[in-house]
Homo-oligomer: A and B are copies of this chain.
Amino acid sequence: MENFVFQNPTKIIFGKGTESAVGKELKAHTNKVLLHYGGGSIKKTGLYDRICASLKEAGVAWTELPGVQPNPRLSLVRKGIEICRQEQIDFILAVGGGSVIDSAKAIALGVVDDGDVWDFYMKKRTPTKALPVGVVLTIPAAGSEASNSSVVTSEDGWYKRYVDAEVLRPKFSILNPELTLTLTVEQTMIGIADMTAHIIERYFTQVPNVELTDRLIEGTFKTLIRNAHILYKEPHNYAARSEIMWSGTVAHNDWLSTGRIGDWGSHMIEHELSGIYDIPHGAGLAIIIPAWMQYVYKANVAKFAQFGNRIFDVEANFGSPEETALEAIRRLKSFYQSIGLPVSLSTVNIPGDRLAEMAAKCVENGPVGNFLKLYKEDVQKILQLAL
């Protein structure tokens, strides 16, 4: 186990009807917020009205900035920064999924900074302050509701880049699984793929003696598998929606990172995919991860064998741990397929003609991944395996 510092002060308000608490929660921090959301589905579901009623009741004023797209864009972030400055807004309320939250976090960074907010994403500078952000979550997937990270896409060159900073953890996040009952099966499963990716990136570490967190990740993964299968058949099952929603937060709030060094190579590769082709991040991960696994498993066969044995109940073959490891990768792939996810680039009609370009962009700042360091040719081979 590595030495670590852990602190996650985000207040989680979880369960039925909890969005009605949003006004009261905000009032403890501010009198005026930027109400940031996406394409307007929150108006169709009535959530928008309930949020506005709660804000009014608490005496919290707001200015709206809708229009966040999946893979949120830097141009809208810049617009949000401008609005907050003009209207002296000191709190961002994100109502939506990971894209809305990440866009809100980017605005929160930019408002209090004199330079270009994109610098933080291009790792030119490290953020030390941000406006506070609050969340009403509608799509469980990205885990941004309690994470320290934000991912934004710049239209200039279609760079999709992330920033990590403790100041980005939301002050509070309201998680009502009822709000997720109307998500389509496809949206739900793409979100679950993202959750599995977050814990896979943490699981595959070369740090020895990380037993507790290994086991916590394994338990979280088993929960995702069982409840994904339930929701694939019964999307209106509240209990399964609850398990998935809370698992999505736990997968990325860093409880499962303590004492470990995660990999994150698959995320870096996927960002090139969804940066250029604008596919959903979760679907891209379901494609990239099995290919990544096939390419890297020899760097620690025992870890892959443990993954298969403990999560997918693959019988341990001590005579050939490699057999157990390979069966683990097959099982993960068929899990993704069993919930309707793509596991190859061809399935989502991405051709093989820009693999070298994506590989080059991916390693612009040096090799990616920690389980096995990946250089340009490695990334390109992984993308090829994903075809």
Q: Which residues of A does B touch, CB under 8 Å?
A: 1-18, 208-209, 211-212, 215-216, 218-220, 222-223, 226-227, 239, 242-243, 246-247, 250, 255, 258-259
Contact = CB atoms under 8 A, between A and B. Distances in A.
Given A212-B220, A258-B246, A259-B246, A12 B3 contact: no
Given A226-B211, A246-B212, A14 B10 contact: no
- Which 4 residue pairs of A and B lie closest in terms of their CB atoms, listed nearest first? A3-B15, A215-B219, A9-B9, A209-B239
A191 to B, nearest CB: 15
Contacts of A212: 219-220, 223, 243, 246-247, 250
A243 B2 contact: no
A236 B211 CA distance: 17
Contacts of A247: 212
Contact of A14 (B5, B17, B209, B239): B5
A196 to B, nearest CB: 14
A373 B351 CA distance: 64
Nearest to A6: B12
A14 B246 contact: no
A9 B10 CA distance: 8
Nearest to A222: B215
Contacts of A250: 212, 216
Contacts of A209: 239, 242-243
Contacts of A13: 5
B239 A1 contact: yes
A6 B11 contact: yes
A247 to B, nearest CB: 5
Contacts of A14: 3-6, 258-259
A322 to B, nearest CB: 25
Contact of A215 (B11, B16, B220, B255): B220
A11 B254 CA distance: 13
Nearest to A171: B7
Nearest to A242: B1
Residue among A18, A243, A255 having the largest count of chain B Cβ atoms under 10 Å: A243
A226 B211 CA distance: 10
Contacts of A218: 215, 219
A181 to B, nearest CB: 15
A219 B258 CA distance: 15
A16 to B, nearest CB: 6
A208 B255 CA distance: 24
Contacts of A259: 14-15, 242, 246
Contact of A223 (B10, B215, B222): B215
26 contacts: A1-B246, A3-B18, A4-B12, A5-B12, A5-B13, A5-B14, A6-B11, A7-B10, A7-B11, A8-B8, A12-B258, A14-B259, A15-B259, A209-B239, A209-B243, A211-B226, A212-B247, A212-B250, A215-B218, A215-B219, A215-B223, A216-B219, A216-B250, A218-B219, A246-B259, A255-B255
Nearest to A5: B13
A76 to B, nearest CB: 30
A13 B218 CA distance: 25
Contacts of A15: 1-4, 259
Contacts of A242: 1, 209, 259
A187 B20 CA distance: 48
A243 B214 CA distance: 11
Nearest to A172: B7
A208 B226 CA distance: 16
A239 B211 CA distance: 9
Given A212-B219, A216-B216, A246-B259, 12 more contacts: A1-B242, A1-B246, A3-B17, A4-B14, A5-B12, A8-B9, A209-B242, A209-B243, A212-B243, A218-B219, A242-B259, A246-B258
